[in-house]
């Protein structure tokens, strides 16, 4: 069974880059925020948060095998199938279909959370200074945060909107709020 302690130990074993660790914590916060927003029970909230925490577990150590190495580890500890699917499907380029709402939320928050952190960095290193308007403006600027796949951001929200009643602006607002909840951890 996957617990927070097991996930954190594996994260510490696999990831030394502090920014990648912060990204994993950011996605964990976003997943927990959505689980709470959707009124899920405590067990599901924990599962969603853990899924966000470990989604990029193998990115630093095995970039060419991402997310296969993370999926192999999850299978070896007999993690729940929905966690495995969410990690396997979190990138659109992986060719794995998301089978649950949890997997779709992960796809919708992953790239966007990183993008919002980048916006905060240019806004005085402050998540409080980030607004939906500022995020949307920066999304249009192709020279800003070039490594963030904007198509994945838009596809993720479209996919999520098919499951729950949400529009792009509200999704951005939710991710901002989730990140603001851990702003001190993120140094923002």
List the domain range (segments joined by +) for residue 156. 4-186
Q: How many domains does the chain fold into? A: 1
Q: Quickly state the pLDDT bin for 146 (edges 50, 70, 90).
A: very high
Q: Pseudo-torsion of CA 162, 35, 32, 34, nearest 10°?
A: 40
Please determine, for residue 51, whether its predicted confidence score (pLDDT) is greater than 90: yes
Averaged pLDDT, 10-14: 96
pLDDT of residue 11: 96
Averaged pLDDT, 5-12: 96
Q: What pTM value is reported for the model?
A: 0.97
Helices 81-89 and 101-122 cross at an angle (nearest 10°) of: 50
Averaged pLDDT, 154-178: 97
């Amino acid at each position: 069974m996957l617990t927070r302690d097991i996930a954190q130990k594996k994260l510490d074993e696999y990831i030394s880059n502090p920014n990648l660790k912060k990204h994993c914590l950011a996605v964990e916060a976003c997943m927990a925020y959505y689980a709470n927003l959707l009124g899920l029970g405590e067990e599901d909230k924990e599962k969603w948060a853990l899924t966000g925490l470990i989604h990029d577990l193998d990115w630093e150590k095995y970039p060419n095998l991402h997310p296969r190495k993370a999926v192999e580890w999850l299978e070896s500890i007999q993690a729940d199938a929905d966690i495995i699917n969410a990690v396997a499907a979190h990138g659109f380029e992986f060719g794995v279909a998301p089978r649950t709402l949890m997997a779709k939320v992960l796809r919708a928050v992953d790239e966007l959370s990183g993008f919002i952190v980048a916006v905060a960095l240019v806004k005085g290193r402050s998540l409080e200074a980030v607004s939906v308007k500022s995020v949307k403006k920066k999304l249009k600027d192709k020279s800003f945060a070039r490594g963030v796949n904007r198509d994945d951001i838009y596809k993720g929200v479209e996919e999520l909107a098919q499951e729950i009643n949400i529009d792009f602006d509200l999704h951005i607002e939710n991710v901002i709020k989730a990140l603001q909840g851990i702003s001190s951890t993120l140094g923002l």
